[in-house]
Amino acid sequence: MMWRVNSKRLAWPAGTVLSEADLSACNIEALVAGEHLAPVQEKRSKRQPAALVEPDESAEEPEEQD
């Protein structure tokens, strides 16, 4: 889970994205309630994974040339 700084009152400038490890000494729930932090929505890629291309067995092998 990642968190974006929304407040000017934290040690990090507004807009900074922090991990839970960065905030280990903080009460994240209280900081979110106070609107100092907001959860960062993880973006999911819209790209489909590349389709596997099966080798075409019918393709002719190149003729050997002398």
Query: Where does this chain bind another protein (CB under 8 A)?
Result: 6-11, 23, 25-27, 29-31, 33-36
Contact 39, 3 (CB under 8 A): yes
Complex with another protein: residue 14 or 40, whichever CB lies closer: 14
The sign of the dihedral angle between the CA atoms of 23, 24, 25, 29 is positive
Shortest Å distance, C-beta 42 to another protein = 23
DSSP states along 42-59? PP---SPPPPP----TTS
Shortest Å distance, C-beta 41 to another protein = 20
Complex with another protein: residue 29 or 60, whichever CB lies closer: 29
